[in-house]
Structure 1
Amino acid sequence: MAKSPTFAKNIFQRLTMRRSKKQSTSDNFEINNTEIPLKPCTVLKIRDYIQTDMLKEAYLNLLSMRLKLQKEWEAVGEGAPPTDLVNKQTDASMLLGTLRNKMSVIVRNSSALPSCNKELLVYVTHIILEEEKRQGEPGAMQGWREAWRDAIRDGVQDTLKKVHLDSHEENASWLAVHLGLLGKAVVEDLERVKTELLSSYPEDFNVFETYVSCHREAVGEHLKILLEKVTELKDYYALLDFIVHRYPSDLRDKQRTLIMEEDLLNKIKTLYYHRQMDDFKSALENIIIIEKEVWTMKKTPYRTDDGFLTSETYMDICKLIASYAGNLEKIDENLGKSVVRFCLEELNPFHTRFEEEFSQHTSSLLTSDLLDCCLWVQYHISYINSFNSLKENMQCYKENCSAQVEQLEKQVDELIQRLSQTLINHFKTDVKPYIDGMMTKKWLKTDEDFREIASRIENYRGLCKSMRAPSAQVFVNGVHYYVAREYVSQLMKKKYSCKKNKNEDAAAKMREQWNELKKLFEDMGSSLNWLYPLGDYLSDIIGMKNEKKIKELLIPLVSNYPDISKKQLSAVLYFRDNSFSLEKHNVINQFTVLKRDGLNTNHDHSFFTDIE
């Protein structure tokens, strides 16, 4: 077979040498028709060259065959081509396609076996460049550069398919492990491209950039397949973390262009968000289930080192939301904010459901023994403390989720108020029978009812020390106000009137009991100091021997408690002595004058207005 002796030097040998960056690719690859073999070898021989990786020989003979066919077609002119010529053209096209397929296989395998295919890659490159220059000639085939890129993409896909992948049943961390191996495989593959393949290609092939692009596509398609297998939140997070952090962080320089498609990333974020929603709802439901077990088993609430009753409920919720926010903080700030907003919003129906379940499952404790009643109170205090702590811990999200935090604060405050009011109502129900026994003939003779009241206040005094501020202050003030109001209101019911000197005994007893109540509520931390003088004022009026001097006692009473009415003062005087006297009439008149003249008052607290 005749061929130009300078072909290998001018075409292949010259191009295997490292070319200067300043050289033009087009200057390196010119071929003259005189350098092509004068007579091509047989079709079978060319096919054999292709199959045995003798690309140079195969391509030279294909060029010769194409030139020969071109002359034969020109000779035919406008006439119908003979069958033999058509068959020859078919053979040439078939051989050219076979050569390109072979080149694709070489390129496809090049990243896995770069050193073995290095020389063949040089031939592949030369053939592609030569074919691109011959576009438009008879017998030329389109898409050589595209076929080369497709081969690279297929090779990359082959590499990724070899990365080990456990099933979910084999390994709970199947995806995290696989993604770690996947990132390592990508990095190693691109490192091989940089160190072993770049020298086989001309610079204008943009080999490394092409491999980077193909890896991006292949990894994206691979992640789409993996996404179909993902059901758990941790695996959605593993995908996001891989795409945003682990994948690009393993790369350097231009490799950082390996960024996933925005649509894929957004799809994973959306799936993550909805799964996070479901998981948080399930977590809240589990919290209620766990608390039901606490109530059913009558477990004692947890007590902190500083002595406050609390529940792990708020800690579990805070840890959950903090973990969500922390995990997403470096992946996607907006996604993190969306998840936190949802969690804060979801807490509102949770509180309603929790309160319903709590009330339903603990009401029976009140119909049992004293220990169960105390446990019922402890549960309320523990949840008051717990939800207060929850509200405080949610303040850290106020900057980014102000509306949700404000709504949560409102809901929690209302819940705490209801829990506190439930405690106060229970206390009221507990002491009401004994308060109703005040200011009677029996009361004057015995302390039995008052001791019951004081005993229950003592019990609550100990429990209130387990309640955190500010709820403790509100609760103590509520109890203090109720006891003071109900105690005084017994005077207004005209159940008893003192005879002879009994008013002095009644005044002494009232003063003694009021002072004992004062000490109890001072110890509990009540801030209603303005209530304390009232007992002394009323005791002074009731115990005063000389009715004329009662008028002098009206000034501090009306000054400090301006809402006392004429009817109420009359009831106090009735308790002192129900007999009519001119002096009592004068006391009422003096009271009327003081009220009419608008005596300067020290404060405007409402008290007597609340007494029926």
Structure 2
Amino acid sequence: MDKSPTSAAGGILHRFSSFRKSTVSRIKERKSMSKKLSLTSDNEEEITEIFQIKDTEIPSKPCSVSQIREYIKMDKLKEAYVNLLSLRLEIQQKRGALEEGSSDVDLVNKETEISMLFDTLKNKIADIVRSRMLPSVNKELLAQLVTIVLQEEKKKSKRMPGWMEMWENAVRDGVRDTLKKVHLDKPEQNTSWLAVHLGLLGEAIEEDLKRVKAELLSSYPRDFNVFETYVSCYHEVLEVHLKELLEKVTEANDYRALLDFIIHHCPSGLRTEQGAMKLEQDLINKTKTAYCDRLMEDFKAALENIIKLERDDFWKTKKTPDRTDHGFLASRVNMKICQLIESYTRMLKEIDENHGKLFVRFSLEELHQFHKRFEEEFRQHTRSLLTSDLLDMCLWVNYHITYINTFLLLKEQIQCYRESCLTQVEQLEKDMDEVTQKFRQTLMDHFKTEIKPYLNGMMTKKWIKTDEDFTQVTSRIESYSGLCKSMRNPAAQIFVNDVHYYVIKEYVSQLMKKRYSCKNNKNEEAADKMRTQWKELKKLFEEMGSSLDWLYPLGNYLCDIIGMENEKSIKNILHPFVSDYPDISKTQMSAVLYFRDSGLSLERRQVINQFNLIKRDTGNIIHGHSFFIDMK
């Protein structure tokens, strides 16, 4: 760790910020040094007596330089200091006795020696301060140390400045040494390396400040501001240490531990009135941002893991989806996503409310990409089910219904964020509608593929003789009717309506293909068969819950027209028929009449003429439904 003095900005309690300035700055800012160092308490005389060197204590003749050096080495600070004072006085007297402009080499050498001795003494004092000398260990030595610092500061020596600054720096170095001794594992050694270290760090600082307050405080004059100085130094050194730790952090739980330490669990002696530790705001913001960024990356990875789990646990193993108590097919995908958003947001909000809100927006935006990746992976890994046996095909259908339900629920569950993230919620609503529509359309296309060959067999000579194709049609409708009970609304309702509309459209469109015409009065037989089948279809779709009630009368109209004996009877029902289904064309009407009997050309012409008149009269009527216009 760098041992150079660090900037004190932002690392000290507000009420002690002025104390951290250099001795020179403090001298300039204050009217006199006496306000800093003179003793102004009620027991001033007693304290002055303790921390003062009397003139009588200064020997008239100093001991040798080597002896002074030995005194310093043996921690006999006062002996060394009074002899240094005597030596300094002796040199000053010799310097004063020299004629103006003259010099003495020996005197210069002695001045150099005394300067070096004072530096040695200063370094010795710094070592003692840094080593946390306590009164219980050597009260006398500590008193000598304080006395020397006070004396030198009071002299305002230009040649030997900075004794208080030296003391502060020594305190800071001692604080730095204390933090260095706190155990720190490497990240690869212990996943909780930072949380453990910060816990030990807090304990070490707490204990040290308690020791300072209990033992050191009473051993220094009040104007040293001992406790405040230690707090200030801890702020400085700890801030540097936290910056170094931040450079090593890569995981979200470590960022969290760091922020939790700063905001909630820093040592009590370093807390502000708000409870947190006062540090440079840039450091705090940098840590919060890094934490948020890490959580965002973790969230994206967690979404990818959701897809992976679905792939490995369900699609690859062909596991049957779960069901709710109400019989709906279900997955845990939507719940996992909601729990992720809630959990990550809560963790961030505990640190910073704004970052929590930011994360909600990010997570909702990330879901915009998630549903596309999910759909792509799903199609890729379930496509093979369609080329396998019937059970696999049923499983393929069940998977589609499962994820229709999943994304419908997710659409509902994100509504709680509408007030704070309106834009993101509205976009996700569109996304969820899009993905459920795609899954629903895929099911519909599969249904069409299954049923179309049998619908194409309607209104043919074979159809008149057998119900084989129609039985296949109703069987598949019944199968999908059961599947729809596993699908949630509104998707289930839309799907049922789509099935109903498609079956009826394809059934009726067979009349338009002119592949068969009822000869020899077989039109009544065809009409009866068609009426029976129409009733069965109507019953099926009513049971499925179709809301397309307007389709039901269509079969009755067509059966009546096909089964009628003469042209006059047909004309009587043309008006209500065209009024209910105004988009039927002349060509389509002709095809229905052709199926009834291709040989009655004159009769058909008369019916068509009547049809044209009705179409002309009802041409401007606005109808809410279209049907015949959708037929090819």
Instruction: Determine the structure 1 residue equivalent to 2:462.
Output: 442
Instruction: Determine the structure 2 residue equivalent to 1:124.
Output: 145
Q: The residue matched to 2:355 in structure 1 has which SS?
A: helix
Of the candidates 364, 372, 392, which is equivalent to residue 352 of structure 1?
372
Q: The residue matched to 2:137 in structure 1 has which SS?
A: coil
Are 1:493 and 2:493 counterparts?
A: no
Deviation of 1:606 after TM superposition, in Å, equals 1.6
State how far apart, in whole Å, the 2-side matches of 1:320 and 1:113 are.
53
Deviation of 1:373 after TM superposition, in Å, equals 0.6
Give per-residue Cα distances to partners, 1:313-340, cap 9 Å, x unaligned. 3333333232221111111233334444
Are the equivalent residues in 2 in contact too, given 1:537–1:557 (CA < 8 A)? Answer: yes
State how far apart, in whole Å, the 1-side matches of 2:425 and 2:140 are.
67
Amino acid paired to 2:291: Y
Instruction: Determine the structure 1 residue equivalent to 2:231.
Output: 212
Q: The residue matched to 1:116 in structure 2 has which SS?
A: helix
Cα gap change, 1:107/1:402 in structure 2, threshold over 3 Å: closer, same or farther?
A: farther
Are the equivalent residues in 2 in contact too, given 1:347–1:408 (CA < 8 A)? Answer: yes
State how far apart, in whole Å, the 1-side matches of 2:370 and 2:274 are.
47
**Structure 2 residues without counterparts, runs of 5 or longer:** 1-36
Q: The residue matched to 2:183 in structure 1 has which SS?
A: coil
State how far apart, in whole Å, the 2-side matches of 1:114 and 1:556 are.
113
Amino acid paired to 1:158: D
Of the candidates 254, 260, 267, which is equivalent to residue 279 of structure 2?
260
Deviation of 1:372 after TM superposition, in Å, equals 0.8
Of the candidates 61, 75, 85, which is equivalent to residue 39 of structure 1?
61
Instruction: Determine the structure 1 residue equivalent to 2:262.
Output: 243
Are 1:221 and 2:243 counterparts?
A: no
Cα gap change, 1:370/1:88 in structure 2, threshold over 3 Å: closer, same or farther?
A: same
Amino acid paired to 1:127: I
Are the equivalent residues in 2 in contact too, given 1:560–1:602 (CA < 8 A)? Answer: no
Instruction: Determine the structure 2 residue equivalent to 1:199.
Output: 218
Q: Following superposition, which runs of at least 4 residues in structure 1 exceed 6 angstroms of deviation?
A: 15-18, 25-32
Deviation of 1:483 after TM superposition, in Å, equals 1.1
Deviation of 1:370 after TM superposition, in Å, equals 0.8
State how far apart, in whole Å, the 2-side matches of 1:59 and 1:555 are.
126
Instruction: Determine the structure 2 residue equivalent to 1:133.
Output: 154
Are the equivalent residues in 1 in contact too, given 2:345–2:357 (CA < 8 A)? Answer: yes
Instruction: Determine the structure 1 residue equivalent to 2:10.
Output: none
Cα gap change, 1:296/1:30 in structure 2, threshold over 3 Å: closer, same or farther?
A: closer
Worse-superposed segment, 49-58 or 305-314? 49-58
Instruction: Determine the structure 2 residue equivalent to 1:101.
Output: 123
Q: The residue matched to 2:214 in structure 1 has which SS?
A: helix
Give per-residue Cα distances to partners, 1:470-510, cap 9 Å, x unaligned. 22222222112111211111121122222344222222222
Amino acid paired to 1:61: N
* Structural mapping, 1:81-480, within 5 Å: 81-110=103-132, 113=134, 115-116=136-137, 120-136=141-157, 140-247=159-266, 256=275, 258-293=277-312, 294-480=314-500
* Structural mapping, 1:509-528, within 5 Å: 509-528=529-548
Deviation of 1:421 after TM superposition, in Å, equals 0.7
Greater relative contact order (Cα 8 A, min sep 6): structure 1 or 2? 2
Deviation of 1:230 after TM superposition, in Å, equals 2.9
Q: The residue matched to 2:266 in structure 1 has which SS?
A: helix
State how far apart, in whole Å, the 2-side matches of 1:556 and 1:446 are.
32
Give per-residue Cα distances to partners, 1:58-105, cap 9 Å, x unaligned. 333333322222222222254443232223222322222222222222
State how far apart, in whole Å, the 1-side matches of 2:268 and 2:78 are.
42
Worse-superposed segment, 386-395 or 362-371? 386-395
Are the equivalent residues in 1 in contact too, given 2:411–2:428 (CA < 8 A)? Answer: yes
Deviation of 1:117 after TM superposition, in Å, equals 5.5
Cα gap change, 1:551/1:602 in structure 2, threshold over 3 Å: closer, same or farther?
A: farther
State how far apart, in whole Å, the 2-side matches of 1:404 and 1:120 are.
69
Amino acid paired to 2:333: T
Identical positions, percent: 64
Give per-residue Cα distances to partners, 1:203-258, cap 9 Å, x unaligned. 44333332222212222222233334333332222222222332267865669573
Are the equivalent residues in 2 in contact too, given 1:152–1:211 (CA < 8 A)? Answer: yes
* Backbone CA RMSD of aligned residues: 3.2
State how far apart, in whole Å, the 1-side matches of 2:249 and 2:272 are.
32
Cα gap change, 1:373/1:257 in structure 2, threshold over 3 Å: closer, same or farther?
A: closer
Aligned residues: 595
Deviation of 1:422 after TM superposition, in Å, equals 0.8
Give per-residue Cα distances to partners, 1:252-282, cap 9 Å, x unaligned. 5669573233333343344434433443343
TM-score normalised by L of structure 1 = 0.88
Instruction: Determine the structure 1 residue equivalent to 2:576.
Output: 556
Are the equivalent residues in 2 in contact too, given 1:558–1:595 (CA < 8 A)? Answer: yes
Cα gap change, 1:250/1:101 in structure 2, threshold over 3 Å: closer, same or farther?
A: closer
State how far apart, in whole Å, the 1-side matches of 2:365 and 2:419 are.
16
Cα gap change, 1:102/1:399 in structure 2, threshold over 3 Å: closer, same or farther?
A: farther
Worse-superposed segment, 97-106 or 313-322? 313-322
State how far apart, in whole Å, the 2-side matches of 1:394 and 1:459 are.
33
Amino acid paired to 1:356: E
Worse-superposed segment, 445-454 or 80-89? 80-89
Are the equivalent residues in 2 in contact too, given 1:212–1:255 (CA < 8 A)? Answer: no
Are the equivalent residues in 2 in contact too, given 1:420–1:475 (CA < 8 A)? Answer: yes
State how far apart, in whole Å, the 1-side matches of 2:618 and 2:283 are.
78
Cα gap change, 1:250/1:216 in structure 2, threshold over 3 Å: closer, same or farther?
A: closer
**Structure 1 residues without counterparts, runs of 5 or longer:** 1-14
Are the equivalent residues in 1 in contact too, given 2:39–2:48 (CA < 8 A)? Answer: no
Deviation of 1:610 after TM superposition, in Å, equals 0.6
Amino acid paired to 1:570: S
Q: The residue matched to 1:498 in structure 2 has which SS?
A: coil
* Structural mapping, 1:566-585, within 5 Å: 566-580=586-600, 583-585=603-605
Are the equivalent residues in 1 in contact too, given 2:524–2:563 (CA < 8 A)? Answer: yes
Are the equivalent residues in 1 in contact too, given 2:266–2:276 (CA < 8 A)? Answer: no
State how far apart, in whole Å, the 2-side matches of 1:78 and 1:122 are.
41
Are 1:70 and 2:92 counterparts?
A: yes
